[in-house]
Amino acid sequence: MKTFFINLLDWIYKKKCYFCRQSRESVKMCSKCYDSLEFLSYGKRLAIDGVSVYVAGVYEKNLQKLIRGLKYHNQRDLAFYQAKFMWEYWQNITDKKDFVVVPVPLHKERQYKRHYNHMELVAEEFCRLSGNTLNTKLITRVKNTKPQYKLTPSERAENLHNAFKVDENGSNCDKILILDDICTTGSTFTEMIKTLKAAGITDITCFATTTPKL
C-alpha cells in the first residue's frame, strides 16, 4: 500500500513542472519556465593558459534551481534541459560536430554516493543534441577533493592539485570540449587543462553552464 502511494505521488509530482508547479504541460520543465532562462552574451568569457572558456548563463533564479535539482535532488530528467540550454548557446559559437565532449569527472567515491555524475548526464544529452562525441574515460578524478564553493581561490587550486589523471590510451584524442556546470574562478578547468596538456592534448575548449552572479 505504501509503495502504491509513493508511486502515485511520483506520478502526480512528475506531471507538474519542477519550477512553477502549476503548468498543465506534463513535463519536468514547462516552456514558460525554460524560456525564462537567460543567455549571457555570445563569445569567449575568459582564457586559461590560451584555452577559451565559454559560459552560457548566470547561476541564479531558474538556472540555479535547474542545476541544484539535477546535482543534489536526484532530478535526473533535468539534465536534458541543462544540455538544451547549453546547446542553444553553443550554436551561436560554432556548428562544428567534431568535438570530443568530456564532462568534469567526479571521484568514484562521490559518484557512488550520488549514484550518478550529473555532468555526465548533461554531456550525454549535449552530444545527442549537437552530434559531438562523448568521452567519459579520457580523464578521471583520482583525488577525492573537497567541494570548491567552501574554499578561497588559493585553497581551490591546492585542493585540485593533481586531482585528475589522463587515460594512457586517450592521448591520441584531440579537440576536447570540457563541460562543467559552474565556473567560478576557473580552477577546475585550469587543473584539467594542465593535466591534458601534460599528456600531449593541446586542442582544448571549456564550456560551463553558468557563472555566479557578480
Residues found near Zn ion in the complex (CB under 5 A):
17, 19-20, 23, 30, 33
**Pick 26 or 171: Cβ nearer Zn ion:** 26
State the minimum distance, in angstroms, from the CB of residue 146 to Zn ion: 34
State the minimum distance, in angstroms, from the CB of residue 161 to Zn ion: 42
State the minimum distance, in angstroms, from the CB of residue 19 to Zn ion: 4
Alpha carbon distance 206, 195 (integer Å): 14
**Pick 5 or 11: Cβ nearer Zn ion:** 11
Alpha carbon distance 163, 172 (integer Å): 21
Task: Note the maximum CA span of the chain.
Answer: 60
**Pick 28 or 71: Cβ nearer Zn ion:** 28
State the minimum distance, in angstroms, from the CB of residue 17 to Zn ion: 3
**Pick 30 or 160: Cβ nearer Zn ion:** 30
The neighbour count for residue 142, using CB atoms within 10 Å, is 14
State the minimum distance, in angstroms, from the CB of residue 212 to Zn ion: 24
**Pick 17 or 177: Cβ nearer Zn ion:** 17
Alpha carbon distance 184, 168 (integer Å): 30
